[in-house]
C-alpha cells in the first residue's frame, strides 16, 4: 500500500476518528508480517476518543509507511483479543464493538479467525474499507462484512473518503432507530459567537461559552420502520450562562458555588476553571474542553464527588475541604455536596 493508496488509507482512518466522541474508546494497529501499534506506549489497550488522544494518533499516522506483506489473520486475531480483554475489565462503554479494517486486499476470508473469536454471537461488527480502484479482493471483504454484521465500502479517491466512512454509522445506529431510542447528547464546553438576535441573552458581547444539545432524527414511515433509517441529527447551541441561570443561587450559602460537568467528568463550567490561551492569540486552547473535574476539585482525592455525578446519583454527603478566611489563613472545614443532574439536563452531571 504505497503512494496514493497510503494517503487515502491515512485519510480514511483520520475520518473514522472524527466520528468518535468522548463515549468511545479506540486504538490503531498497523500490520505487515508483524503487528505495530501506532502508539507503542498503548499496546494492548483502548484509549478514550477525546480531542487530545485523537490529535496524538493523527500525528502518529503520518509516520506510517508501506513495507512487507500484510498478514491479515494476525491483525484480526490481535483486534479480537484486544476487544475481548478490554470488555472483560469492565472499562469503556461496554456497548457496540467494531473492527474497522482499512486494507488494499484480502487473499482469503479468514473464516477460521471469525469462527474462533466472533461466531455465533457476532458481538463484534467488522467494517472493511477496500482502498484503491481494483476490486479483485472485493468479494472476500464483502463476505467478511456480511458474516460479521458489518458493511463493505470501497474507497477509490480522496474525494470518496468522507461520504463512505459515514456509512458505518447507519449500520451501528440501526438497532436504536428500530427501538426509537431518542438519546440526547450534550457536548463539552466551547467558545463561539452568538447571533445578534441572541446576544441579548448574554451580559457581555463577543465570544461566549457554549454547549450543544443534539438528538437523532428517524424515518417514521411504515414501509421503512423495520429498516432503521437514520435521517440525520438535529441540534441547537445553548450558552452556558443560560444553564447557570436555572441554579437556585440562594441555596448555595456564603461560601457555596455551583458547577456543571459532562457525563465523562469534563468541566462545563466551574469558578476555578482558568482556560489557557494559545500563545499570542485570544483563542482558547482546544484542551479547554477536556479539563476533568479532578483537576480543580483537589480535595476530592478518591473521586467520590466526581463518580457520584458521572453516575447521576442524587443525595448529599460531606468531605473535608480548604477555604480561605481573613488574613489569608486556611483551615479544614467540612463541606457539604449534592450530586445530581444539573437542571435535569440529560447526560450532564
Q: pTM for this structure?
A: 0.80
DSSP string of 39-62?
SGGGTT--EE--HHHHHHHHHHHT
Looking at residue 282, its pLDDT comes to 61
Query: Burial letters for 286-312: b for 16+ Cβ neighbours within 10 Å, e otherwise?
Result: eebbbbebeeebeebeeeebbebbbee
Alpha carbon separation from 116 to 77, 86, 162 (Å, rounded): 9, 18, 33
Averaged pLDDT for residues 11-15: 96
Q: How far apart are CA 102 and CA 12, in angstroms?
A: 8
pLDDT in tens, 176-230: 888 877 788 888 787 787 766 555 555 545 677 888 899 988 888 877 767 778 8
Looking at residue 344, its pLDDT comes to 37
Averaged pLDDT for residues 124-131: 96
Averaged pLDDT for residues 10-15: 96
What are the structural domains, with CATH classification, of the chain?
4-178 (3.40.50.410), 185-241 (no CATH), 242-344 (no CATH)
Give yes or no for a contact between 309 and 349, defined as CB atoms under 8 angstroms apart.
yes
Residue tagged 441572541 (cell numbers): 198
Give yes or no for a contact between 269 and 291, defined as CB atoms under 8 angstroms apart.
no
Of the two residues 271 and 335, the one the predictor is more confident about is: 271
Sequence length of the chain is: 349
Of the two residues 74 and 271, the one the predictor is more confident about is: 74
Assess whether the previous peptide bond of 120 is cis (omega < 30° from 0). yes
Query: Does 343 score more than 60 pLDDT?
Result: no
Averaged pLDDT for residues 37-43: 94
Of the two residues 131 and 279, the one the predictor is more confident about is: 131
Least confident of 56-65, 135-144, 324-333: 324-333
Looking at residue 200, its pLDDT comes to 57
Helices (H), the chain: 4-18, 51-61, 72-88, 111-117, 138-147, 161-165, 167-178, 240-244, 304-310
pLDDT band at 331 (very low <50, low <70, confident <90, very high): very low
Looking at residue 284, its pLDDT comes to 62
Query: Does 239 score more than 90 pLDDT?
Result: no
pLDDT band at 318 (very low <50, low <70, confident <90, very high): confident
Averaged pLDDT for residues 316-321: 82
Alpha carbon separation from 341 to 120, 236, 313 (Å, rounded): 40, 20, 8
Q: How far apart are CA 116 and CA 162, in angstroms?
A: 33
Give yes or no for a contact between 147 and 114, defined as CB atoms under 8 angstroms apart.
yes
Amino acid at each position: 500500500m504505497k503512494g496514493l493508496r497510503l494517503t487515502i488509507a491515512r485519510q480514511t482512518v483520520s475520518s473514522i476518528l472524527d466520528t468518535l466522541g468522548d463515549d468511545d474508546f479506540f486504538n490503531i494497529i498497523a500490520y505487515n508480517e508483524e503487528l505495530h501499534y501506532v502508539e507503542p506506549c498503548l499496546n494492548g489497550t483502548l484509549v478514550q476518543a477525546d480531542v487530545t488522544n485523537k490529535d496524538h494518533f493523527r500525528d502518529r499516522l503520518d509516520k506510517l509507511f508501506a513495507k512487507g506483506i500484510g498478514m491479515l489473520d494476525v491483525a484480526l486475531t490481535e483486534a479480537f483479543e484486544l476487544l475481548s480483554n478490554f470488555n472483560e475489565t469492565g472499562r469503556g462503554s461496554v456497548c457496540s464493538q467494531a473492527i474497522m479494517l482499512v486494507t488494499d486486499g484480502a487473499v482469503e476470508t479468514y473464516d477460521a479467525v471469525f469462527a474462533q473469536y466472533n461466531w455465533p454471537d457476532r458481538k463484534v461488527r467488522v467494517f472493511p474499507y477496500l482502498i484503491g480502484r481494483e476490486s479483485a479482493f472485493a468479494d472476500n471483504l464483502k463476505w467478511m462484512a456480511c458474516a460479521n454484521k458489518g458493511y463493505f465500502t470501497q474507497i477509490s479517491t480522496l474525494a470518496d473518503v468522507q461520504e463512505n466512512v459515514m456509512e458505518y454509522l447507519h449500520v451501528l445506529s440501526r438497532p436504536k432507530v428500530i427501538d426509537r431510542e431518542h438519546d440526547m447528547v450534550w457536548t463539552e464546553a466551547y467558545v463561539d459567537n452568538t447571533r445578534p438576535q441572541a446576544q441579548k441573552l448574554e451580559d457581555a458581547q463577543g465570544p461566549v461559552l457554549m454547549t450543544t444539545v443534539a438528538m437523532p432524527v428517524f424515518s417514521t414511515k411504515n414501509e421503512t420502520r423495520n429498516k432503521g433509517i437514520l435521517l440525520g441529527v438535529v441540534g441547537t447551541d445553548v450558552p452556558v450562562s443560560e444553564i447557570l441561570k436555572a441554579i437556585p443561587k440562594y441555596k448555595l450559602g456564603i461560601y457555596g458555588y455551583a458547577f456543571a460537568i459532562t457525563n465523562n467528568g469534563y468541566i462545563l463550567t466551574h469558578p476555578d476553571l482558568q482556560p489557557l490561551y494559545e500563545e499570542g492569540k485570544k483563542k482558547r486552547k482546544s484542551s479547554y474542553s477536556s479539563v476533568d473535574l479532578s483537576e480543580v476539585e483537589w480535595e476530592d482525592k478518591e473521586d467520590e464527588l466526581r463518580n457520584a455525578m458521572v453516575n447521576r446519583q442524587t443525595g448529599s454527603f460531606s468531605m473535608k475541604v480548604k477555604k480561605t478566611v481573613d488574613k489569608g489563613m486556611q483551615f479544614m472545614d467540612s463541606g457539604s455536596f449534592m450530586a445530581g443532574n444539573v437542571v435535569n439536563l440529560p447526560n450532564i452531571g
